[in-house]
Structure formats: structure tokens, C-alpha cells
Structure 1
């Protein structure tokens, strides 16, 4: 009992600090997002502004308001950036790890070279890649070294979009994607023999898919079509982000490859497995926990991305916007603090959707042990 009291007293200052400066400020931010702070310019910067409770009006305006079309494009940009950033970092990191796992000559040198970008800040990376992606220099003039004409791709300055869809289709696509994720969770639960989780995930996925196909196309967020898509100006930003973080995933995968027991690989060879089959059916499944951990870290970074885009494209270029950029513009340039706080809460929810399930699964595994 005495040891417990001592431990509690030692932890108490940290608990109080976290409670005030983390959860207290999150609660304050949530309250501000439910008010009209910033609607009246005369009250925006007042010493004691008069705040009126407006409920979810700020959130509704972000998703359906006429003037917040830039936020909606920034949300689409974030989705595409997160997907391509994670896929590029994981794929390139795995290829580098497999290559280094063959113990080539100069392995230590190459490992250091691949890991070095991770030591840089996103601001430094963004500045370097902004120089490299200048329309009249950098990457575009590389073909001239081989006697070929220079490239003409504008990189960070293009306004072209691909994979364009109507914003009114967002409820349908959201329910479809989440429903498929639940079905995958049900499949994994079935493989692991967890009956309750399988039934819950299967029921949730079925309901979402049924709603998506039965009612999703009829739900319209706006009274008019509003096209959004993957802005090609983000290609350069994705390349820079992948360049920086692929070394991190390489280190994780290399440690995982070196940790696979030799007996397992030899057993696969004895069973007649080809090198490709060994990777497909033995090595990659054993690397699945590492892949999941890397996805959580990369997804967390992608959802909060700000400094890399700030350094590469600035704050005022809409094709490369992400919600964090737009939040900064609304709150600290437009003095619309309530709407900026609402974007902050949305980003917090997105990060929580990524991190909390992972932490819950890890805790569940520890309890089983």
C-alpha cells in the first residue's frame, strides 16, 4: 500500500500537467468549435469576446457551406496524400530492406545513406525538394545530361487534377470503404478465432454496405455538383515525403528480416518453395506486425502534415492545401477561431481513428500473454 501511494505521488505532477495542458486544452478547443467566435470581426480579437453557442454549425459549414470549398479540397488532398505517402514509404522501404538483407558489399554505407534523410526536418526536406522541382531546373533538366529534351512538368505549380469525383458522393464512398474495412476485420477475426469480434465487424460492415448501395447515392451534401480530385501538384510533395520516411520503414523491415529464424526459411526451401513463394507465403506474413506499426506511424505523420507543404508550396496555394494549412489560414489570418478549432477537432478524430484501434489491439495482446 505504501509503495502504491509513493508511486501515485510521483506520477501526480505528470498526471496534472497532462490533464491541464493536453486534455484540458482539447476540451477548450472543442468548446470553442461549438461557438461563433470569429463570426463578428469586432469580437474576434476582443479581450473578452462574447461567444454564443451554435452547436455543430461550424462543422456543417465546413462540409456543406458554399465558402468552404477550399477546405473540402484540402480534405481530399489529405486522403490522397496519406494513401500514396504510406504506399510509397512502405513499398520503397521494403525493397531497400530486401536488397540490404542480401548482405551486399558496402551494406553499412548504404544503410547510413538510406537512413540519413530521416534525420532531417520536414522544413529542410521541403526546401531542398522545392529547389529540385523548379520548373526550369532541378529534376526537369536531368534528361539534358543524356542529350534528351528537358521535362516540362510544372510539379508544384500545376492545377491539373485526376481521379475527380463529386463531393456529393462522399457519404457513399465513406460508407463503402468503412464497410469493406469492417469485412476485412471480420475475416481477420475469423482467422484468429475471435467469434464476438467477427460477428460485430460482420454486422457493422453489412449494415454500412447495405446503406451505401440503398441510400448513399440519394444523399447530397450540396444542392449542386462540386468536383474534387487528386491534385497533381501534390506529386512533388509525396516524392519528398517518401524520400524522407522510406529509410525509417527500411530500418523496421530490415530488423524484421534479420529476426526471422533461419530454420523457418530452410523449412520453406525443403518444402520446395521458390524465392518468390518464400517471400509471399513466409516472410511477408511474418512482417505483418511491422507493417501495421509502420502504417500507424506514417498515417499519424500524414494526417498532421503541415511543415513540408509550408516549405515546398507555401500557405496560399490551394492545390496543395491540407486541413492543417487551411486551419492556420482561418484561425490566424482570418481570425475565424471557432471554425479553425473545428478543423483541429476533426484532425484529432482522424488521428484517434488511426491510433486508438492499434493501441487497443496491442493492449489486448498483452492481456492475453
Structure 2
């Protein structure tokens, strides 16, 4: 017994602070949020609150504003994922074919990731909204030639939900396409050259080579990118808040609605929105983690 303690004891002591912090600040606060969402704590009052079961959730899904935020989130997620995957794969294909100064292009494509979402959102807010001051007017005069008027008019004068949320998704696509490019480029570089040579010897054209040989090898990376982007789209709070502010109903998503609700001290309702988002994230992430663990165990 003493020997076992000496074997695993030091490692357990090293991990103990991390386990305690995660247990409190992650799982403990998740439990607190679940508990709060089941009560009638709709103000910041102190003292015990009465349990109302799933009443807050029922009211939430019967509320037009919350349903509107879910629809906005769905459109934002689709546009963001499709746009980021398309541009990321396109850039990876261009670099995979080999270009002069590849390192420079990689740095240019990855540079937007180094910019904070808040800073990016402020600048894109100026670009998309010409009424926000002299900075916005100057930037719009500079970039008006590349089609920003289309997004401005559609967003701020009552365009469709798809056009409106596409304008919000555009900065996120610009910022994260480089990350997806790096994933796909690493996948291309990890494919053995023998596969390419064998396909060419068998008479495969470049199109068939990519379609039947290379792209199937990238399916695990594509799945990982899909899960990562889907997870990130659900948490795009800072970018949306910086672009539109807190009171834009047309661009409101659940995370922004949760923040606005919390500012009104409606703690139970805000906690219910947070748990709904947590469940949606879990639905995306848990099957992927289970699939990954299964694949690793089989290998």
C-alpha cells in the first residue's frame, strides 16, 4: 500500500490544484446555474428562492425573442461554417500546390487570428454601419468599391435574416479561415507521396486524384474542423456585441440575449439560456469525443 502511494501520490498532488479549480469554477458553477434556472430568482434579491421546476425553460421556448435568437444563431452557424470551410480549404489547396513565398502567405492568412474579436468587431462595425462616425465614413469610402454597400443596406435598412446574419458572419469567416487552412494544409502534407504517385501511375487525373485519393484522407480533419467551428459559432458573443451593441434585435443570438437578461438581474432566465446553450454544445461535442476515443482505442 505504501509503495502504491509513493508511485501515484506525487502525480496526484500535482494534479490536485487543477482538479479542485476545475471542479469549482467549471462543474460547480454549472451546477449552480442549473439550480438557479429551476428557481423563481428573477431579481437580484438575497435569500432563498422557490423552485419552479422547468417553468423558466417552458416560458423561454414560448418567447418570440428567444426563438428569434435561435433562428439567428442557426443562420449564423450555417453561413460561418460553410464560409470558413470553403475559404480555408481553398487557401490550403493553393498553398498545397506550391507557391513562391509560401511562408509569407501562411503568415498573412493566419494573421487575423492574432487580432482580438473585440478589436475586429469594432472595425467591422465601422465598415458595416456608415452612421457610426467619421471613422466609419472614412473606412467605407475606402472599401466601398468591394461591395460593402450591399451589406450595409441589407443590414441596417431591414434586409432578410440570411443577409443580416451573413454580414455578422463575414468578420468571423475572415478571422478563422486561416486556422482551418492550417488544419487542411497539415492534412495534405501528412498524406504519403506514394499514394499520389500510385494514383498517377494508374492514370488518374488531378481532379480524380483529389476527389478519390486526397480528399477522403482529410475526412477526419474535416470532421474536427466542423465540430470546432460549430462550437465556436455558439459562443460568438464578443464579436457580435462589438459590431451591433446590446440592443439589436435583428442580430441577437442566445449568448447576447443571455447577457442582456443578466443585466436586468433576471438570474433564473439567464441561467436557463446558459443551460440551453450548454446542452447544444454538448450535443455537438460529446459524440465527437466519443467517436475520437473509439477510433484511438481501435488503432
Give the TM-score normalised by the residue count of structure 2: 0.90
Answering whether residue 36 of structure 2 is matched by residue 32 of structure 1, we say: yes
What residue in structure 2 maps to residue 81 of structure 1? 76
**TM-score, normalising length from structure 1?**
0.74
Q: For the Cα contact (< 8 Å) 1:37–1:338, is it kept in 2?
A: yes
**1:58 equivalent in alignment to 2:56:** yes
Deviation at 1:7, TM superposition (A): 2.2
The within-5 A match list for 1:140-151 is: 142=143
* Coordinate RMSD, CA, aligned: 2.0
CA contact (8 A) 1:253 1:290 kept: yes
Q: Which residue in 2 is equivalent to 1:94?
A: 89
Instruction: Point out where structure 1 has 5 or more consecutive residues left out of the alignment.
Output: 39-43, 162-229
Distance apart, 1:304 and its partner CA: 1.0
Q: Which runs of 5+ in 2 are unaligned?
A: 132-136
| Richer in helix (by share) | 2
Q: Within 5 Å, which residues of 2 pair with 1:1-369?
A: 1=4, 2-38=6-42, 44-48=43-47, 50-64=48-62, 68-135=63-130, 137=137, 138=139, 142=143, 153-161=152-160, 230-332=161-263, 334-369=264-299
Q: CA deviation at 1:45?
A: 2.4
Distance 1:361 1:348 in 2: 20
The CA deviation string for residues 297-349 of structure 1, in whole angstroms up to 9 with x for no partner, is 111110111000001111101010000000011111x2111011000001111
Instruction: Render the CA deviation track for 1:62-96: whole Å, top value 9, x for unaligned.
Output: 111xxx31111111111111111011111100000
- Residue by residue over 1:107-143, the C-alpha shift from the partner in whole angstroms, topping out at 9 and shown as x without a partner, is 2211111110011111111112112223475458756
Q: 1:140, 1:275 → 2: CA distance? A: 43
Taking a change above 3 Å as real, the CA distance of residues 56 and 266 of structure 1, as seen in their structure-2 partners, is: same
C-alpha spacing 1:143/1:345, structure 2 compared with 1 (3 Å): closer
Cα deviation digits, residues 246-273 of structure 1 (max 9, x gap): 0000111111111111110111111221
